[in-house]
Amino acid sequence: MTFLQAIVLAIIEGITEFLPVSSTGHMIIGSTIMGIQQDEFVKLFTVAIQFGTILSVVALYWKRFFQSIDFYLKLLAGFIPAVIAGLFLNDYIDLLLENVVVVGVTLFLGGIVFLFIDRWAPGGKEEDERPMSYGRAAIIGVWQCLAMVPGVSRSAATIIGGMTQGLTRKSAAEFSFFLAVPTMFAATVKSIYDYVKDGGQVTTEHLQLFAVGNVVAFIVAVIAIRSFIAFLSKHGFVAFGWYRIVVGGVIIALYVMDVPMQMF
């Protein structure tokens, strides 16, 4: 992996992590298009640069992280389902991460769902929005588990989960951001541990790639979060639905026609 490729992947991560379009799916697509060999370091890199996006949430919402112990307990309630699912499905998830066709199919199907989700789960209104409870946090955490399939989107799953619990789009999106912090931090730590445990070497160049990737992901994610909240509150999911259908449809079409996706 070159530094240019690392920067491109970091930009993709920063833009897509908090948008309902699947950051993992887009990084798989980006890696495939750039012809990056999917070795163990590349898999680690695509997870480890999530640390930069985690910091973007903390930087933008730092006051909320000093709110109360109750805030952290609700995050824990939302985080536990992903821990349980990850323990049982880890090997299966690793296989899916190597398959760009899975990404295409899930993007396409998810896009169809997005065209109608504002009717199926319109969310609450600001004046009568339900307060977040431990039970609602846990249910949103169960929805988050769907995102273990590449292309589903963690952001989409948790925001929709929040809307089914009566949260407004804005509140659901913000809780999705907060829930990303423990979830992505745990995924990053586990990926680094597994990489080192299996004998993976971390060179000076690797550390430089991590540093550049995380800085770029942090800056881009800050911009993406601010833009996304305003857009989602006003327009909903339809635009993201059409985007997913187009991208997913192109991937499926290329696969059916046996056209290689590697461009450079």
**Cα–Cα–Cα angle for 147, 149, 101, rounded to 5 degrees:** 135
Residue 150: its pLDDT value, please? 80
Report the 10 Å Cβ neighbour count for 91. Answer: 7
Alpha carbon distance 173, 164 (integer Å): 12
Instruction: Residue 109: name the closest of 254, 244, 257, 259 by CA.
Output: 244
What's residue 198's pLDDT? 85
CA dist., res. 29 & res. 244, Å (int): 13
Amino acid identity of residue 120, one-letter, is W
Dihedral sign computed on CA atoms, order 212, 206, 153, 193:
negative
Angle at 169 between CA 163 and CA 172, to 5 degrees: 60
pLDDT of residue 8: 94
Model pTM greater than 0.85? no
pLDDT value of residue 127:
55
The tokens describing 6, both together, are 């690392």
Task: Quote the pLDDT of residue 261.
Answer: 60
Pair of tokens at residue 242: 């059409």
Distance CA 93, CA 213 (A): 23
Cα 77 to Cα 133: distance, rounded to the nearest angstrom: 9
Distance of alpha carbon 89 from alpha carbon 151, whole angstroms: 16
d(CA 82, CA 95) in angstroms, rounded, equals 18
What pLDDT is attached to residue 20?
Answer: 87
Write the DSSP symbol of residue 128: G
- Give yes or no for a contact between 108 and 248, defined as CB atoms under 8 angstroms apart: yes
Task: State the 10-residue block means of pLDDT for the chain, 264 residues long.
Answer: 92 90 83 82 87 92 89 94 82 66 88 84 62 91 88 88 87 91 87 86 89 95 89 84 93 83 50
